């Protein structure tokens, strides 16, 4: 069996989805990248690739519909081509521990990848070059998530076991902003697509907190409801105040932080830790998630079904 860690919709093809998975919960064994295709008949496996160690994250290229990047337990990144089934195009191994996060920049005019590792560093990569361009040090704990700003070129955020959210600019190796966001490990972060100063963090304290970079002394929102650690958070591609989160409490929850009762809906269709979550850029309201119960689900929750 394969334990799902991450899912991501293709930015090019509305029905295509990638899932990064690890055998045996990522503790031992190999990894699998599954490229799935959804159509009227259901979900089918378009292509599957194996890697020597567990895969923990996946990101699609923003300049080539065939290309994606995964990150693995052996400290490496793999670049894949869905039209070349024999194996990865390239392997970039520099991190000294598990790479839990990989993200391809979404701002125009640049093609950069950022990785975040248990070795407490983030690394910047040009996908056409085999070596990293820069290493970002500063975190005092495991990095769980590294996410590019969708608005500010060269800017990314990182979430860490050292309980901070940090903001980086690729022009300088030292951190720009340090936000002691929680009194617990921060497992995930994401940027608001409609406000370049707003981010969200999800932590082991079961909460999601919003952060305005112009005043980081206190959160702008605090969303409670999950009963175990928040594993991943994603802002909606379509609405400024909508977010989704998945958790070790097996649920996926949808929130609108502008409402007095922000929890819109709780979806409980997994029987294990729910780790992967993505919101479609093409199909309004469509969500994909994956969990350690070896299931990938694609659905449109009722709270996202009708345009606001």
Per CB under 8 A, the list member of 176, 258, 268, 300 interacting with other proteins is 176
Reduce the DSSP state of residue 56 to 3 states and report it: strand
Span of 61-69, 113-121, 158-166, 259-267 interacting with other proteins by CB under 8 A = 61-69
Nearer to other proteins, 20 or 155 (CB): 155
For other proteins, the closer CB: 131 or 214: 214
| Between 47 and 225, CB nearer to other proteins | 47
**Interface pick for other proteins out of 59, 71, 106, 163 (rule CB under 8 A):** 106
Binding pattern for the stretch 221-240 against other proteins, x by CB under 8 A and - elsewhere: ----------------xx--
The CB-side HSE value for 78 (13 A sphere, CA atoms) comes to 24
Question: Of the listed pieces 21-29, 139-147, 247-255, 297-305, which binds other proteins according to CB under 8 A?
Answer: 21-29
- Report the residue from 37, 162, 185, 212 that binds other proteins according to the rule CB under 8 A: 212
Residue 183 is classified by DSSP as S
Q: Binder to other proteins among 63, 96, 300, 302 (CB under 8 A)?
A: 63
Q: How far apart (Å, rounded) are the C-alpha atoms in residues 119 and 123? A: 11
Residue 258 contacts other proteins per CB under 8 A: no
Q: Whose CA is closest to 196, among 180, 178, 211?
A: 211
Give the list of residues 6+ apart from residue 165 with CB closer than 8 angstroms, or none: 157, 158, 159, 178, 179, 181, 186, 189, 199, 201, 211
Sort strands 230-235 and 242-247 into parallel, antiparallel or unpaired. Answer: antiparallel
In this structure, the chain runs to a length of 308
State in angstroms the smallest separation of the CB of 260 from other proteins.
20
Is residue 126 near other proteins by the rule CB under 8 A?
Answer: no
Is 134 among the residues that bind other proteins (CB under 8 A)?
no
Angle at Cα 185 formed by Cα 263 and Cα 53, nearest 5°?
Answer: 105
- CA-based nearest residue to 278, from 7, 4, 17, 5: 7
Contact call for residues 229 and 237 (beta carbons, < 8 A): no
Q: Is 133 in the site for other proteins (CB under 8 A)?
A: no
Of residues 30-59, which lie at the interface with other proteins (CB under 8 A)?
Answer: 30, 49-52
Strands 67-72 and 76-81: antiparallel
Q: Site size for other proteins, by CB under 8 A? A: 64
Judged by CB under 8 A, does residue 91 bind other proteins?
A: yes
Q: Looking at the DSSP assignment, which residues form a beta bridge with residue 160?
A: 143
Q: Does residue 308 belong to the site contacting other proteins (CB under 8 A)?
A: no
In angstroms, the CA 2 to CA 53 distance is: 12
- Contact region with other proteins (CB under 8 A), list: 79-87, 115-123, 218-226, 258-266: 79-87
Q: What minimum distance in Å lies between the beta carbon of 224 and other proteins?
A: 26
Residue indicated by tokens 């970002």: 136
User: To the nearest 10°, the Cα dihedral for 95, 101, 106, 108?
Assistant: -10
Provide the 8-state DSSP code for 302: H
Binding-site ranges for other proteins (CB under 8 A):
1, 11-13, 23-25, 27-30, 49-52, 62-67, 78-79, 81, 83-84, 86-91, 106-110, 150-155, 167, 169-171, 176-177, 193-197, 212-214, 237-238, 271-272, 281-282, 293
């Amino acid at each position: 069996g394969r334990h799902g860690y991450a899912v991501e919709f293709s930015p090019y093809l509305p029905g295509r989805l990638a899932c990064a998975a690890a055998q045996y919960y990522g503790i031992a064994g190999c990894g699998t990248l599954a490229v799935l295709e959804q159509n009227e008949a259901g979900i089918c496996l378009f292509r599957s690739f194996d890697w020597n160690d567990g895969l923990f994250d996946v990101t699609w290229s923003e300049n080539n519909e065939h290309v994606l990047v995964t990150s693995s337990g052996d400290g490496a990144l793999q670049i894949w081509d869905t039209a070349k089934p024999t194996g990865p195009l390239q392997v970039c191994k520099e991190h000294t521990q598990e790479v839990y996060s990989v993200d391809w920049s979404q701002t125009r005019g640049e093609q950069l990848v950022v990785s975040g590792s248990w070795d407490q560093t983030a690394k910047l990569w040009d996908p056409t070059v085999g070596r990293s361009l820069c290493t970002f040090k500063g975190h005092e704990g495991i990095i769980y998530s590294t996410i590019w700003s969708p608005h500010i070129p060269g800017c990314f955020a990182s979430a860490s076991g050292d309980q901070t959210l940090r903001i980086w600019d690729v022009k300088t190796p030292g951190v720009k902003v340090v936000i002691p966001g929680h009194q617990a490990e921060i497992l995930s972060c994401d940027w608001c697509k409609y406000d370049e100063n707003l981010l969200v963090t999800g932590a082991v304290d079961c909460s999601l907190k919003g952060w305005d970079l112009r005043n980081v002394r206190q959160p702008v929102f605090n969303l409670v409801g999950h009963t175990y650690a928040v594993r991943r958070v994603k802002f909606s591609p379509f609405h400024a105040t909508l977010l989704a989160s998945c958790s070790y409490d097996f649920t996926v929850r949808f929130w609108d932080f502008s409402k007095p009762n922000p929890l819109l809906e709780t979806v409980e269709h997994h029987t294990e830790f729910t780790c992967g979550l993505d919101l479609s850029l093409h199909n309004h309201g469509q969500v994909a998630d994956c969990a350690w119960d070896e299931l990938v689900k694609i659905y449109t929750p009722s709270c996202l079904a009708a345009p606001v």
